[in-house]
Amino acid sequence: MNGRTRYLILGLVSAGVVGLDQVTKMYIMQTMRLHESIPIIPNLFSLTYIRNPGAAFGLLAGSSSAFRFVFFGLTSVLALVLLGAILFRLPERDWMGQLSIAGILGGAVGNLLDRLRYGEVIDFLDFYYDVYHWPAFNVADAAISVGVAFLILHFALEKKRQEPALQQDQS
């Protein structure tokens, strides 16, 4: 497969994540009131509309909006540049690594769009057991988490495959 087709597919994956993320957030904002919660699976999962001005798990939520705008703007741009560099440096045959990065990239763009438009991120996926809640998240967060998990798994498996080859070369 040529480079153009490969990057088209990866671009479509990233754009698909951004599109799904933005459509679901728009739906939540248009159909629910802020802090409204709709149980889907009792004592396990609800749709709960919240806005997170901070980072993951609400970190920096208490900081000034100007600080958050600059901080998240700079870190987002740096993250996007780093992800792009990693994506272009991965070997062409490394589809798992490339798809993982494309998902992470799509998630990062989805949350960056929220920060630019609203100054905070729209979250609505609320998993919990009884009174113990995991912090609410969104499609972009899920894509980032799944992408990072697959990337870690991929690099761990790749390292295991390379170790026996290195040991044979040294013999």
d(CA 16, CA 99): 12
Helices (H), ranges, 32-138? 65-89, 95-118
Q: Can you list the pairs that 127-133 forms with residues at least 24 positions away whose Cβ atoms lie under 8 Å?
A: 127/44, 127/45, 128/43, 128/44, 128/45, 128/46, 129/43, 129/44, 130/43
pLDDT digits (tens, 9 = 90+) for 144-160: 999 999 999 988 887 76
Let me know if 14 is exposed, middle or buried by CB neighbors in 10 A (0-12, 13-18, 19+). buried
Q: Which residues are catalytic?
A: 123, 141
pLDDT digits (tens, 9 = 90+) for 34-86: 999 999 999 999 999 999 887 665 666 667 777 777 777 788 889 889 988 88
Q: Is the pLDDT of residue 140 over 80?
A: yes
Predicted TM-score (pTM) of the model is 0.84
Of 29, 37, 46, the closest CA to residue 122 belongs to 29
Q: Is the pLDDT of residue 164 over 70?
A: no
> What amino acid is encoded at 76 in this protein?
S
CA 65 vs. chain centroid, Å, equals 22
Please report, for residues 31, 103, 133, 142, the alpha-carbon distance to residue 28 in angstroms, rounded to integers and kept in the order given: 5, 22, 20, 16
Of all residues in the chain, what percent carry a pLDDT higher than 70?
86
- Asked if residues 71 and 54 have their Cβ atoms less than 8 Å apart, the reply is no
Domain residues for the domain of 161 are: 3-170
Q: Is the pLDDT of residue 136 over 90?
A: yes
Domain count, the chain: 1
